[in-house]
Amino acid sequence: MAEASSASATAPVLEMTKVSCRYGPVQVLDNVSLTVSTGEIVTLIGANGAGKSTLLMSVFGIPRVASGSIQFAGTDITHLPTHHIPRLGLAVVPEGRRIFPGMTVLENMELGTMALRKRTSVAFEGLFELFPILWERRQQKAGTLSGGEQQMLAIARALAGQPKLLLLDEPSLGLAPLMVKKIFSLIQSIVQSGTTVFLVEQNANQALQLADRGYVLGSGRIRLEGKGQELLANPEVRQAYLGKLA
Ligand SMILES: Nc1ncnc2c1ncn2[C@@H]1O[C@H](COP(=O)(O)OP(=O)(O)OP(=O)(O)O)[C@@H](O)[C@H]1O
Ligand SMILES: [Mg+2]
């Protein structure tokens, strides 16, 4: 895990400044500012409906921000067309994984390389080292994988585009504790191999243990921010998100 001091010394790879988003008359994000620096794991936690997925997907212009700006690796991406964004080195594993069940594991992973200008098989070798189970299952239809394996496939597919920054929306959702542990340990390996991670999670306890820094989103606003360990010890976080008495 990156030391907070070294992380703060590097330039932000993602910087959201005073971002507001609305669905029709409903304001879902209200003046949200956050940064993710190279080499960090940053987590965003918050209750159902807080606006976590909206915040994550607004980076890709879905929805478009109503006001504010989003910078990625020094480029203003606020108004870029959605399909341009992966090419810059940003990948997302959306809520619900969205793998193609009728295609094989390998075919799903090949789709992930579409973000690359030049196709390469080198990325796959590294990926199969990280996800040996996907190598074993490479010719199997993705729909026949277990939930945890499908989540791994969704992550591997995103990594096949060799992103600088990987955005993950609730990768532990619906998985058994052992698989959650595995996914979180994979996230750590992903960061160690050079991809920065922004992790949206409801599993606040494990996300904050893993993360260098975290943000708490409540009703579309950043309520708290700090180092993972600081937020874990924060009485408000303990009571509201960890189900513990302050
Ligand atoms: N496409 C949409 N149209 C209208 N309202 C939407 C749309 N998507 C989300 N919302 C609303 O925006 C709010 C925030 O939703 P969002 O999915 O971002 O929350 P979340 O924090 O990711 O929740 P969860 O933990 O349940 O995934 C909710 O009130 C939701 O009903
Ligand atoms: Mg969500």
Q: What is the pLDDT of residue 96?
A: 84
**CATH number, residue 8:** 3.40.50.300
With pLDDT > 70 as the criterion, what percentage of the chain qualifies?
92
Residue 139 covered by a domain: no
Residue numbers of the domain that contains 73: 1-87+206-246
> pLDDT tens for residues 128-172?
989 999 999 999 999 999 999 999 999 999 999 999 999 999 999
- Whether the full predicted model's pTM is greater than 0.85, yes or no, is yes
Number of domains in the chain: 1
> pLDDT tens for residues 233-243?
998 888 887 77
Angstrom distances, CA of residue 218 to CA of 32, 70, 246: 11, 20, 18
Residue nearest to atom 9 of ligand 1 (CA): 54
Q: What is the pLDDT of residue 9?
A: 52
Amino acid at 45: I
Q: How far is CA 70 from the centre of its chain?
A: 16
Give the number of other CB atoms < 10 A from CB of residue 180. 18
Q: Report which of 131, 135, 165 is spatially closest to residue 151, judged by C-alpha positions.
A: 131
Contact between residue 237 and residue 204 where contact means Cβ atoms under 8 Å apart: yes
- The ligand 1 atom nearest the CA atom of 51: 18
Distance CA 92, CA 170 (A): 11
Residues 6 or more apart whose Cβ sits within 8 Å of residue 181: none
Give the number of other CB atoms < 10 A from CB of residue 121. 8
5: left (phi over 0), alpha (psi -120 to 50) or beta: alpha
With pLDDT > 90 as the criterion, what percentage of the chain qualifies?
76
Q: Which helix (H) or strand (E) holds 210?
A: helix 204-210
Distance CA 107, CA 103 (A): 6
Ligand 1 center to 55 CA (angstroms): 10
Of 98-112, 114-128, 175-189, 218-232, least confident by mean pLDDT is 114-128
* DSSP letter, residue 121: S
Residue nearest to atom 2 of ligand 1 (CA): 23
Q: What is the pLDDT of residue 35?
A: 97
Task: Give the residues surrounding ligand 1 with Cβ less than 6 Å away.
Answer: 23, 28, 46, 48-54, 95, 202
Of 1-5, 74-78, 214-218, least confident by mean pLDDT is 1-5
Q: What is the pLDDT of residue 3?
A: 44
Question: Mean pLDDT of all residues in the chain?
Answer: 90
- The ligand 1 atom nearest the CA atom of 170: 27
Amino acid at 51: G
Residue 220 covered by a domain: yes
Distance CA 172, CA 203 (A): 7
Q: What is the pLDDT of residue 5?
A: 45
Residue nearest to atom 25 of ligand 1 (CA): 48
Bridge partners (DSSP) of residue 199 are 43, 168
Q: What is the pLDDT of residue 4?
A: 44
Residue 226 covered by a domain: yes
- 4 or 78, greater pLDDT: 78
Residue 239 covered by a domain: yes
- 227 or 11, greater pLDDT: 227
Residue 103 covered by a domain: no
Among 29, 54, 169, 203, which is best to mutate for testing ligand 1, by the most ligand atoms less than 8 A from CB? 54
> pLDDT tens for residues 80-128?
999 999 999 999 999 887 899 999 999 999 988 877 766 655 668 888 9
How many residues appear in the chain? 246
Residue 75 covered by a domain: yes
Bridge partners (DSSP) of residue 43 are 199, 214
